Structure 1
């Protein structure tokens, strides 16, 4: 039985005031049937972890990780550093990293391995652009992105989460219809099953990301192969984020 997950990605937003608000809102969260993760910008990882009670089930994650473990890589953050600051998860391969920083499928696979070496759970993002969807290339694009991770083997894939984020629905207010989201998640799960077996596929948590809000979360999460969400803008609103967590419990 896959456990639902709701992970908030603040992107380059937030403040110490927001850290305090979110920490207070989540401090008494009682949702043992949902994995709840918050991924703030790097400077706020430590403050958020310290704001949450030591017994809090809420996890803190990074938004990226270096493929290197240490060294002369100015501006990079190692997985061991995130772990030392209390992170349990890290987002890898977000579409903004792919588009704005030229991250390739091969580099993302290296980052997945670096995250696992540090004991972090990678949340690996995949997704197609509007142009690729309109050209009927969704499965081809996603297949290549997913295959780069599947090539690492079942031992790796069993330890990660995959988030489907259609690029055309990120921050645009547009959301994939539930049937669209389900079709893609079903495709990804079938791809994993074909490569690594049905047991790995059925245990793999698949998230949907792309303008998820309290108003549409329950409908999206009700899809058979959608196990929760990677939440962007709504994660900056503690009340909205808690509503989405509640939707994952129904």
Structure 2
């Protein structure tokens, strides 16, 4: 992957380990400390989840964490406070993963400005497709923010080409159909999907990277994914570690997963 494959703050490192945590879990300050612990233990890109009342793609561990954040009083404005606090302490690309409705309710232009001003790199938007995202595409261009769309094994070749054309930062390749959650075996469909994205122009020199997520939970799986993709995205395994063992346990889990980037 070229170092110039993406723009500005959205540039991701080679062989990236991307770590997901929900903002506000178990509380706002701890979620900030947890995100910083990820970076200090080998995570190269942060994906911060905006808690939402109807997380249709998320597995049980993430659902429980986001519901706990909401019950603790999470508000959308907390996203920007968290991003600003994190970026004040570590220098890594920090993206927000959010369902689209909270952005619309907050105001697309306002959300983009506030995210940019906080030091955020962009958005990962799992429930909108490029053909329905004209407002976001225009706004993200104006604010110089990454826009990460998802590609699935069931996507048509034309949809993959459209996703590649419209994404900025990287393409999120969904390794298997269904909700998020750790799995013993990362679906072999991920390798096929990344190959199709290569054909569509998603990876290679001077082109946008493809990063694989959903189901990655071990250093071996990180290494396996990085054998054919530009990044490995881990969510549920990290959320579970934080829920069960606190920030110190999360740090140990992140360090173990980061070993997979060296293989």
Name the TM-score, length of structure 2 as normaliser.
0.64
Instruction: Name the residue aligned to 1:56.
Output: 90
2:79 to 41, 45, 58: 45
Count of paired positions: 213
Which residue does 1:116 correspond to in 2? 141
Q: Which residue of 1 aligns with 2:160?
A: 146
Q: Extract unaligned runs of 5+ from structure 2.
A: 3-13, 51-75, 243-249
Specify the alignment match of 1:208 in structure 2.
212
Q: Distance in 1 between matches of 2:158 and 2:45?
A: 29
Helix, strand or coil at the partner of 1:171: coil
Q: Which stretches in structure 1 are left out of the alignment for 5+ residues?
A: 98-102, 129-137
Determine the structure 1 residue equivalent to 2:177.
Answer: 168
Please tell me the root mean square deviation across aligned C-alpha atoms, in Å. Answer: 3.5
Contact map agreement 1:38 1:58 (CA 8 A) in 2: no
- Show the counterpart of 1:232: 235
2:47 matches 1:7: no
Whole-angstrom CA distance in 1 between matches of 2:186 and 2:99: 31
Residue aligning to 2:68: none
Query: In the TM superposition, what is the alpha-carbon distance from 1:5 to its structure 2 partner?
Result: 2.6
Q: Is the 8 A contact 2:83 2:118 kept in 1?
A: yes
1:8-34 alpha-carbon deviations (Å, 9 max, x no partner): 3335872325314314524645x5xx7
In 2, are the aligned partners of 1:66 and 1:76 still within 8 Å (CA)? no
Higher relative contact order (CA 8 A, sep 6+): 2
Distance 1:118 1:242, change over 3 A: farther
Query: SS of the counterpart of 1:181?
Result: helix
CA displacement 1:67-119 (0-9 Å, x = unmatched): 9x9xxx53444322211122113102x1xx2xxxxx34411465344323211
Residue in 2 that maps onto 1:132: none
In structure 2, C-alpha distance between the alignment counterparts of 1:109 and 1:124, rounded to whole Å: 13
Q: Paired residue for 1:74, among 81, 87, 105?
A: 105
What does residue 37 of structure 2 align with? 25
In structure 2, distance between residues paired with 1:23 and 1:232: 12
Q: 2:73 matched to which residue of 1? A: none
Distance 1:180 1:215, change over 3 A: same
| Equivalent position of 1:135 in the other structure | none
Report the Cα offset of residue 210 of structure 1: 0.9
Q: Give 1:187 deviation, angstroms.
A: 1.1
The 3-state SS of whatever aligns with 2:147 is strand
Closer/same/farther in 2, CA of residues 222 and 6 from structure 1, 3 Å limit: closer
Partners of 1:122 and 1:109 in 2: CA distance: 12
TM-score by length of 1: 0.67
